[in-house]
Amino acid sequence: MGFLRVRVTGESMLPTLHPGDWLVVRRTAAPRPGDLVVARLPDDPARLIVKRLIGGGPEEGWWLESDNQRAPGRRDSWDFGPVPAALLVGRVVLRYWPLRHGLRPR
């Protein structure tokens, strides 16, 4: 399977993404700084998170940040450090629902 559907929960990616947004994630897409990505939470790999890839790489791990650092319950690389490449699920390629706003790069 090359694609995955993900529903956004929480406010950590406001104003880019809103709770209830649905995303298409491409599993095989190579990530670049500035991309929105989906990763497994390092201390709870069953849970997926949507974050902005700031830097890093496959060897040293990826640095992921929330767009909204003041969101309640926000967790990103400031809390758990670089994310190992094995926990990166894929790159967000499309926000398809609802139709109220577009996916805006930062």
Per the residue annotation, which of 6, 10, 11, 12 is the catalytic one?
Answer: 12
Q: Enter the tokens of residue 9.
A: 């929960």
CA distances in angstroms from 8 to 12, 59, 82, listed in the order given: 10, 28, 22
Write down the catalytic residue from 37, 42, 51, 95: 51
Residue 78: helix, strand or coil by DSSP?
helix
Is 51 labeled as catalytic in the residue annotation?
yes
The residue behind tokens 């929480």 is 10
User: How many Cα atoms sit within 13 Å of 6 on the Cβ side?
Assistant: 29
Residue 86 is a catalytic residue: no
Q: Which residues are catalytic?
A: 12, 51
